[in-house]
């Protein structure tokens, strides 16, 4: 729009404070490089007096965030509250109705209300930016909307949640169990005090739905995505995966094959030496597969004050420069809603059970698998690796030949009801493509 | 600019034909997604009748490419001729003077005349796009100019030339010598019939100068960059590098450390398991190092019709949408010209000589190194690995402790004049940071 930006910023946590710090530090640079000038005319957060890395005294404070879009002069609202509904949603809608441009880092909001926001954005001259909602420091939205215009991506494989990747890679590296590493991640600030959405895969699913819309012009509901979290991964699973040459990572993937969409978030076994298998700590990666033109791989910091506020600022500059694109690349009217198939293709699985220490147990298990047409490629049973609380059963780990998820699930439900095993078995897909 | 684009396209090789094919195939998509409409009003190339993957009969042909900017109605010239001067330069300057927007894939042109083009672009309302000039399918210009606005990159490590990377990785994988693999690359179309600029490092240096300008606002001449090609790498160098856990790659790197710029293109030893060491074939990678916010890694196809024309089209859309940025991110007035220091920091080197089969040769060599304060970390001499044409000398390979390039060079010049060795020794830096 090329006129001075008057900003209202709601949400002053790590990202909000990072954005304000960047705006304060870089005002001369932005003026010089883009001609962009700005002024913060209103800030709001749940707690005015919380200790922050920045001073907010000199910015007009509003107890009610929803009163900020009422300020006539403000032309950009930056929503950094989070959450799919509540203040974030109300603020976003009100801002757009009041003819304010909107920038948000909120993947849950976009994932749930993206179509409504897309409609408002596409039908107006308002700028709605959400670069920071997916993979913070990696400009993936920009790349998909502006950089890869004629490259037809047919599959995406990604690691989009830094917390769960930190937990998985740290369990593996330091040989410690899930709970211990999670506790440490919370102490270090890598994990929220309530890490549910990170760990159960839903945060990745929110981000995947956005990427999916940009790539395939198909905008799925979270319930259209096969979602499995990392809660049940044990240290021994990492150890066994390593023996087979794999690491376990929480993979968010979608693909279009023979006119069918496959969308899934699940811990998977990926080759240790692959791009995805090597991602450690809180890094993110997005692997865009393209049959014609080769792959494009983007890798970087997915979260944190620096990377995420950089993405917010990048939106702000686009807003200033007047870069107006369809919200999801394609007009909202042409977006198909997610197909509800949760089917997956046949593939190999890592399958781990705790088999009771009773005569004939292994024979019983393998005949059950055979009866269900599950063929076993590799199997490991080490008699001495009992879990501390499972003295009377032994872990048995198998790598299957390709099989459908339905078959695996029915076998699991069949053996779960018997005394053949203790604890719930787990089965993880093996990703061979990357 | 949001009005219909009237295009003049000069240069109809692989990329030019790819661009026209994309324009033909995607016109509805571009209309729907961006509202962008276009018409090709003029084409030109050196040979009208060359066999091409597209038909050009229905486009107005011009024998003289320089007459195309004279066509009043044309508002965008796409320059795909190549070369740092000649038609490419004359066409570009004339186009801008005639008030036409300009899109080019020409790294040599930008590297040599970037400051002049930047001045015209920054002082006018004209769009000048060059996304396709560096790393074809990877939107690195966009990422650096628009995506990483507050992330301070302090070092970049990259592989920017697909031909040389194809040759190096294929030599290593198939255990064949340089000339044989180069011949094959030419047959397969990976290498030009005159591959000089690919192989001697200058193509990488052109691209590095552009990246350097975008990251550091310092625009070096090619003569400000330390450049070494891959011509002298032998198969045995790959074999020895592998023994030490490294691969040899042609690395283009620049960094800003303690207010000093280091810029270099050279074959280097990089860890086999590192992001750079794993790049095979004609892939490109750009590793942006950032102390505060972690690294950003972009990896993809660097050349070819598909990726490169995608980058041209991405510029075309930006041109249509009116995205106007400073040419090098920073105004041309604030660009410093390259400092001419070709110094590098002390670092470890791979050092290979063919030592004469004469008594005391090794003692003489090591005492010479010691006299020059070069300490050796590792050394391999296998008596049986003579080259076919060098029966009377034995390869000796050393890994040094950190040493300056000046010291290495002076030792090399000292032994090159003696009968201690046959053939020219080579020394390659070892990249430890990534």
> Three-state SS string across B389-429, please?
CCCCEEEEEEEECCECHHHHHHHHHHHHCCCCEEEEEEEEE
> The whole model's pTM is what?
0.92
**Active-site choice (A94, A107, A112, A207):** A207
Which residue among A33, A139, A297 places its CB closest to the CB of B147?
Answer: A139
Q: What is the pLDDT of residue B43?
A: 97
For helices B14-25 and B27-34, angle between their N-to-C axes, nearest 10 degrees:
70
Within chain A, which residues score under 50 in pLDDT? none
Task: Test B283 with A294 for CB contact under 8 angstroms.
Answer: yes
- Set of chain B residues whose Cβ sits within 8 Å of the Cβ of A306: 150-151, 292-293
Mean pLDDT of chain A: 91
Cα of A128 to nearest chain B Cα, Å: 16
Task: Test A296 with B326 for CB contact under 8 angstroms.
Answer: no
> Residue B114 — φ and ψ, nearest 5°?
-55, -40
Residues 6+ apart with CB under 8 A from A386: A393, A394, A395
The residue of chain B nearest to residue A217, with distances taken between CA atoms, is B33
Let me know if B55 is a catalytic residue.
Answer: no
Within chain B, which residues score under 50 in pLDDT? none
Q: Are B156 and B215 in contact (CB under 8 A)?
A: yes
- Set of chain B residues whose Cβ sits within 8 Å of the Cβ of A293: 137, 301, 304, 306-307, 310
Q: Is B192 helix (H, G, I), strand (E, B) or coil?
A: coil
Tens digits of residue pLDDT in B106-137? 999 999 999 999 999 999 999 999 999 999 88
Q: What is the pLDDT of residue B341?
A: 62
**Active-site choice (B107, B207, B228, B263):** B207
- Set of chain B residues whose Cβ sits within 8 Å of the Cβ of A321: 323-325
| A-B Cβ pairs (cutoff 8 Å, strict) | 159
Which residue among A146, A296, A309 places its CB closest to the CB of B314?
Answer: A146
Q: List, as own/partner pairs, every contact residues B385-394 make where C-beta atoms lie below 8 angstroms and the sequence separation is at least 24, other chains included.
A: B385/B236, B387/B234, B387/B236, B387/B354, B390/B354, B390/B422, B390/B423, B392/B356, B392/B357, B392/B422, B393/B354, B393/B355, B393/B356, B393/B357, B393/B421, B393/B422, B393/B423, B394/B354, B394/B355, B394/B357
Q: What is the pLDDT of residue A266?
A: 97
Task: Test A323 with B323 for CB contact under 8 angstroms.
Answer: yes
Task: Test A318 with B139 for CB contact under 8 angstroms.
Answer: no
Q: What is the pLDDT of residue B302?
A: 84
Q: A284 is written with which tokens?
A: 């993110």
Domains of chain A and CATH, by start: 5-134+306-330 (3.40.50.720), 144-303 (3.30.360.10), 349-431 (3.30.70.260)
Q: What is the pLDDT of residue A294?
A: 80
Q: What is the pLDDT of residue A336?
A: 80
Which residue among B26, B293, B321 places its CB closest to the CB of A306?
Answer: B293
Residue in this structure with the two tokens 């907010």, named with its chain if needed: A56
Give CA–CA dist B328/B270, Å, rounded: 30
- Set of chain B residues whose Cβ sits within 8 Å of the Cβ of A300: 294-297
Task: Test A294 with B307 for CB contact under 8 angstroms.
Answer: yes
Cα of B154 to nearest chain A Cα, Å: 15
Helix (H) or strand (E) holding B110: helix B107-123
- Set of chain A residues whose Cβ sits within 8 Å of the Cβ of B324: 321
Which residue among B293, B318, B324 places its CB closest to the CB of A301?
Answer: B293
Q: What is the pLDDT of residue B136?
A: 86
Which residue among A138, A273, A326 places its CB closest to the CB of B296?
Answer: A138
Task: Test B306 with A138 for CB contact under 8 angstroms.
Answer: no
């Amino acid at each position: 729009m090329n006129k001075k930006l008057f900003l209202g910023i709601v949400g002053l946590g790590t990202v909000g404070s990072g954005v304000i710090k960047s705006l304060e530090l870089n005002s001369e640079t932005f003026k010089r490089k883009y001609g962009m000038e700005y002024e913060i005319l209103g800030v709001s957060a749940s707690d005015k007096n919380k200790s922050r890395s920045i001073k907010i005294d000199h910015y007009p404070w509003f107890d009610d965030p929803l009163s900020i879009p009422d300020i006539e002069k403000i032309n950009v609202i930056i929503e950094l509250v989070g959450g799919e509904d509540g203040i974030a949603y109300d603020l976003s809608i009100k801002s757009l109705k009041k003819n304010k441009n909107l920038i948000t880092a909120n993947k849950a909001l976009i994932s749930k209300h993206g179509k409504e926001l897309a409609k408002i954005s596409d039908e107006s001259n308002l700028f709605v930016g959400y670069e920071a909602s997916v993979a913070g420091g990696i400009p993936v939205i920009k790349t998909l909307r502006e950089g890869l215009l004629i490259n037809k991506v047919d599959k995406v494989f990604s690691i989009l949640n830094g917390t769960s990747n930190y937990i998985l890679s740290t369990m593996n590296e330091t040989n410690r169990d899930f709970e211990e590493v999670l506790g440490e991640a919370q102490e270090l600030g890598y994990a929220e005090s309530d890490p549910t959405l990170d760990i159960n895969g839903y945060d990745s699913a929110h981000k995947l739905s956005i990427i999916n819309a940009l790539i395939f012009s198909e905008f799925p509901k979270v319930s259209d995505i096969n979602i499995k979290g990392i809660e049940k991964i044990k240290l021994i699973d990492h150890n066994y995966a390593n023996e087979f040459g794999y690491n376990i990572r929480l993979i968010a993937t979608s693909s279009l094959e023979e006119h069918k969409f496959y969308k899934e978030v699940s811990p998977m076994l990926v080759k240790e030496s692959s791009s995805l298998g090597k991602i450690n700590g809180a890094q993110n990666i997005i692997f865009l597969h393209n049959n014609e033109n080769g792959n494009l791989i983007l890798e970087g910091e997915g979260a944190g004050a620096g990377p995420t506020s950089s993405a917010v600022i990048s939106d702000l500059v686009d807003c200033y420069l007047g870069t107006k694109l369809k919200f999801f690349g394609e007009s909202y009217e042409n977006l198909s809603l997610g197909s509800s198939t949760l089917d997956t293709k046949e593939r190999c699985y890592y399958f781990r059970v705790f088999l009771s220490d009773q005569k004939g147990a292994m024979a019983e298990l393998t005949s059950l698998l055979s009866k269900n047409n599950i063929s076993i490629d590799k199997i490991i049973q080490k008699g001495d690796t009992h879990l501390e609380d499972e003295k009377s059963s032994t872990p048995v780990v198998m790598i299957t030949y390709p099989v459908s998820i339905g078959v695996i699930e029915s076998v699991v439900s069949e053996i779960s009801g018997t005394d053949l095993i203790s604890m719930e078995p787990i089965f993880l897909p093996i990703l061979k493509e990357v």
